[in-house]
Each structure stands twice: as C-alpha cells, then as structure tokens.
Amino acid sequence: MVSRRGLLAATGAAALPLPALAQAGYPTRTVALLVGFAPGGGTDIISRLLQPALQEDFGQAIAIENRAGGSGTIAAAANARGRPDGYQMLMTTVSASAVVPPTMKPPPFDIIADQTAVVLAGTVPLVAVVPLSSPAQTFDQFIAHAKANPGKLNYSSSGVATQQHLAAAALSFAAGLDMTHIPFRGTGQAVNEVLAGRIDIAIDTLPTYLPHIRAGRVRALATTLKQRVPTLPDVPTVAESGFPDFDAAVWYMVMGPPGLPQAVSDRWVQAVNKALSDPGLRQRVAAAGFIPGGGTSAEAAALLRRDAAKYAEVIRRANITFD
C-alpha cells in the first residue's frame, strides 16, 4: 500500500510546516467535514444529524463537503493527505476506509498508517428494497424471480466493494443468483433509479431508504442484521428467509488525517459522545434508522483494524477488484 511518506512526497505536503496544534481553544474557525458520497446517502444523513450539535459544542461552523466518487475513497484520500490540524476531518464508512482502498491498484492510501480513527458515529443495517413495479412481494418471491431470470436482473450499490456491493454479491453467491452489478457515485443517485424501476433490487443502508419505505415508494423485502430492525418490525431478516449466516451492517466513523494530535481527537470524541447522549438527538438518529455510536478512539481504531482484516478475506474470496 502507499505509505504516508509516499503520499507526502507526491503531494508536496512534506514542505508544509506543522500547524500549531492541540491548543485549548480548538477549534477557532470553521471545520470542514468531508463526506465521500453524494447527498441523500447514509454518510451524508448521519453527518447532518450531528452537525447542529457539533456546531453548538465547538462554537464554530461545521461545513459538510460532499466529495463523491471512488466508492468514498476520493474524500478518504483527501483526508489522508490533509494537514493534521483538525480543520479538515472526514465522516467515513467501513467500505471507504477499511474495504475498498486495498482493492485499488495502486491503493490510494494505507488504511492503517494514513488514517486516524477518532470515534464511531453510528451503525446501520442494510435493507433489501425493490421498486413497486417488481413482481416480488416477498424476499422469497424475489429469489425465485431472480433464479427464473438468470442474467436479466440487476442490483445497485454506491460503488465497487462498498458494503452494498458486498452484501448483494454475498446474497448472489449464497442463493446461486446471476445478477448484474450497477455501481453509482453514491446511494442518492441509485435511489432515483430504483424509484423509476430501472434497478431490480438494492441492498442499501436503512436511513437512505426508510423515508421511501414509509412513503410507500419502494417495497422493503428484508433487513440484514440477525435480528429484526425496530423501525421495520414487520420486515423479516435475510437470515430468517433461508440464509441463517447472513449478517451485514455499515458503520460510520469520524476519521482524521495521520498525525492528528490526541488532544484534537479527544475533543471530537467528547463532542460526539455529548451529542449522542442527548435524548432528543438519539431519538432522531434512531428514527432515521441508525444505531447511535460513541465510545473511545481506541475502540474506533480497533473496529477499523478488525473489519479491515475481516473484509480483506471476503474480497479475496470474491475476487473483487476496483478497475
């Protein structure tokens, strides 16, 4: 993988003076929060849910910057090249920071050396949805429909090797389905295609599709955790529907560049935990389909390392590469 030294040499960042860091007054100006996907997806949603509380706590604006592309790695690579002063941070996903980069040739950054895991923002299950025009009324019916039409159906994702892609690919392997993968630059773009009936199934983050499910614009067939989701208690799990080992989720994490001072990281940990301890915000986060996060930076770093190793094996077995 690309080392931090290689990134610095390539970008000229090595010539930059190290900023004055870890001052008691941090932050003293606007903080940019990069989001690697288009508006409307889970990463954007959790960022905007937290934004008001973080602004109040920091006493400064949090400017959300959507930099879609590369399955979230364009923003993640920008974070990896960023100055370690806390004024450009990243809201990232398991796919953008732990799964996709090693599949790229060359990898745009080292997933361990070139990131600083700060704090978990939230976790979400995925939900399998179909357009209202689909003949499938249940998950079992969709499986039968796909088996009866090999090579004719498609599924969407927010990019190659994202959790949406891996979940659908895993289901295809488990059920013996032959479907075509249609990657987009974010789930927001995919939603429009599902609503229009041009995508046969999406296995995507619950917050992305929950408003459309509630409004009756798409049909939810199954969720991907082992247990049912409280916001969709009548929707069965994939595990209940004949695939007992199926279990998939997406986490969202605040990430800093390499070399981020501990004092800055601690300030973000404090702010995010304070925000998520507010009952009103927790209720809004949960109502949007998220399991609220929080915890320590050590726990966030351990989660990054654990899932990087876990999904490296999945990628190897599925032979997925980012072209």
Give pLDDT tens digits for 279-311: 999 999 999 999 999 999 999 999 999 999 888
Same domain, 108 and 154: no
φ and ψ of 183, to 5 deg: -85, 145
Q: What value does the mean pLDDT take over residues 83-112?
A: 94
Predicted confidence band of residue 24 (pLDDT cuts 50, 70, 90): low
> By percentage, how much of the chain surpasses pLDDT 90?
74
* Weakest mean pLDDT among 55-59, 158-162, 242-246, 272-276: 158-162
Is residue 165 assigned to a domain?
yes
Is residue 297 assigned to a domain?
yes
Is residue 323 assigned to a domain?
no
Task: Identify the domain boundary among 208, 241, 274.
Answer: 241
Task: Identify the domain boundary among 187, 213, 241.
Answer: 241
Is residue 269 assigned to a domain?
yes
Same domain, 109 and 133: no
Render pLDDT for 150-207 as a digit per residue (tens, 0 to 9). Answer: 999 999 998 888 888 889 988 998 899 999 999 987 777 899 999 999 999 999 989 8
**CATH code of the domain in which 277 resides:** 3.40.190.150
Same domain, 13 and 116: yes
* Sequence-ordered list of residues with C-beta below 8 angstroms from that of 77, at least 6 positions apart, any chain: 70, 108, 109
What are the residue ranges of helices labelled H in the chain?
4-11, 42-58, 73-80, 94, 139-148, 163-175, 187-195, 206-214, 262-277, 279-287, 297-318
The DSSP bridge partners found for residue 257 are: none
Q: Which domain holds residue 180?
A: 125-241
Same domain, 20 and 65: yes
Taking alpha carbons only, the member of 263, 248, 269, 72 closest to residue 170 is 248
Same domain, 116 and 174: no
Task: Identify the domain boundary among 223, 241, 259.
Answer: 241
Q: Across all residues in the chain, what is the average pLDDT?
A: 90
CA distances from 120 to 61, 167, 168, 246, 247 (A): 21, 21, 25, 23, 20
Is residue 145 assigned to a domain?
yes
Same domain, 29 and 80: yes
Same domain, 233 and 258: no
Is residue 156 assigned to a domain?
yes
Same domain, 136 and 231: yes
Predicted confidence band of residue 21 (pLDDT cuts 50, 70, 90): very low
Predicted confidence band of residue 313 (pLDDT cuts 50, 70, 90): confident
Same domain, 60 and 137: no
Is residue 12 assigned to a domain?
yes
| Cβ–Cβ < 8 Å for 229, 221 | no
**CATH code of the domain in which 129 resides:** 3.40.190.10
C-alpha angle 45-153-169 in degrees, rounded to nearest 5: 60
Same domain, 157 and 228: yes
To the nearest 10°, report the CA torsion of 285, 205, 63, 300: 80
Same domain, 260 and 233: no
Same domain, 261 and 118: yes
Residue 7 has pLDDT above 70, yes or no: no
Is residue 107 assigned to a domain?
yes
Chain centre distance of CA 243? 24
Q: How far apart are CA 165 and CA 99, in angstroms?
A: 11
Total domains in the fold of the chain: 2
| Burial call 171-188: b when 16+ CB within 10 Å, e when fewer | bbeebebebeebbbbbbb
CA diameter of the chain: 64
